Amino acid sequence: MRTIDWVNGAIELIDQTLLPQRVEVHRVTELPQLIDDIQRLAVRGAPALGVAGAFGVALIAASVQAEHGDDELDRDEVRRQAAILREARPTAVNLSWGVDRALTKLDAGAAAILDEAVLIRDEDIAACISMGLRGADLTRELAAKDRVSVMTICNTGSLATVERGTALGVIETLFEQGSLIEALPLETRPLLQGARLTAWELERMQAPFRLLIDSAGPFLLSRGIADAVFIGADRIAANGDTANKVGSFSLALAAQHAGVPFIVVAPESTIDMRTASGADIEIEDRGVDEVVGFGGTRTAPAGIDAVNPAFDVTPHDLITAIVTERRVILLSRGETLESVSLESLRS
């Protein structure tokens, strides 16, 4: 089952707000629908947002062309609507990356835009397979063990990509290779993506796991519960600073204290060399409502304020390694995104 795809002239995506109680595929035929799905987290996860951005431009182009009823595509109108889509969520660089890459085919027409979006989808699937293999090998090497227990936060599985996933894709690969003792997902407050989504995916793959309360993660790392910590990323700055689901920073601090490898798993499209450091990453605050209640039930006193950052930034000096589909950058050994560049790999 793919999280997001192009089917018969429209975007189809799993509505993640309904999981795990109900699996429902939402068919998106208009830009406002897609923006709403992105903002209410019906589709989420950096790589999936990249695919959504590309398919969104294909949807815009098809709609604009149909509206004008001629062979000439109104490129200015496509760009105008694409700019609105591009800003639907500010922290995850993949959304704007997917929009911008699809727009490179604008002069070639609507069909070429769709072809590029489909290519982005297929590349994402292949990237997740590659990240899983690289990450599994690296984990065994760093832990110096054939079988490991691993901790993770938020959801980085197939629901955050198209298939398999980034950090959870590594866990899936370890499981398939017989190297997983257990996975230890955190519940991930306030929207419980770990409890609702990651636990659902681990159960579907029949992998051994236990769900942890968020506040216990750092303490349990100090007690040796895990051999490694995996996170995904919504943006990786040029110096290696990484924005991910809020709670990642505290796990990185605890992992350093415990001497446990802290590994970021994300596709190359999540690396933003135009952003110098984590200080330059805009952090989305999702407002009060998600904090003061859940599932339609109020859990806090009426009228109070709240701080609800969706992400935090883990400094590069707390990160052991970054794993992409193309390379492994061992930050803990002094490697950088520039020193282990794609150009050097090609040469």
Q: H or E segment at 290? A: helix 289-292
Rounded-to-integer distance, Cα 188 and Cα 153, Å? 6
- Checking if the pLDDT of 233 tops 60, the result is yes
Is 305 one of the catalytic residues?
no
346 pLDDT band, cuts 50/70/90, is low
Rounded-to-integer distance, Cα 38 and Cα 28, Å? 11
- Checking if the pLDDT of 269 tops 80, the result is yes
**Look-up of token digits 């980085």:** 156
Q: Which CATH number fits domain 4-123: 3.90.550.10, 3.40.720.10, 3.40.605.10, 1.20.120.420?
A: 1.20.120.420
Q: Helix 167-176 crosses helix 110-143 at what angle (to 10 degrees)?
A: 60
**Look-up of token digits 């216990």:** 216
- Checking if the pLDDT of 155 tops 90, the result is yes
Do the first three CATH levels of 4-123 and 132-346 match, i.e. the same topology? no
- Checking if the pLDDT of 347 tops 50, the result is no
Point out the catalytic residue in the list 234, 241, 272, 312: 234
According to CATH, the topology of domain 132-346 is: Rossmann fold (3.40.50)
Domain residue ranges of the chain, discontinuous segments joined by +: 4-123, 132-346
**Look-up of token digits 């997917």:** 98
Structure tokens at 82: 């694409």
Q: Which residues pair with 225 in a beta bridge?
A: none
What pLDDT score does 344 carry?
Answer: 60
Q: Where are the alpha helices (DSSP H) in 155-295?
A: 167-176, 193, 199-205, 217-222, 248-258, 289-292
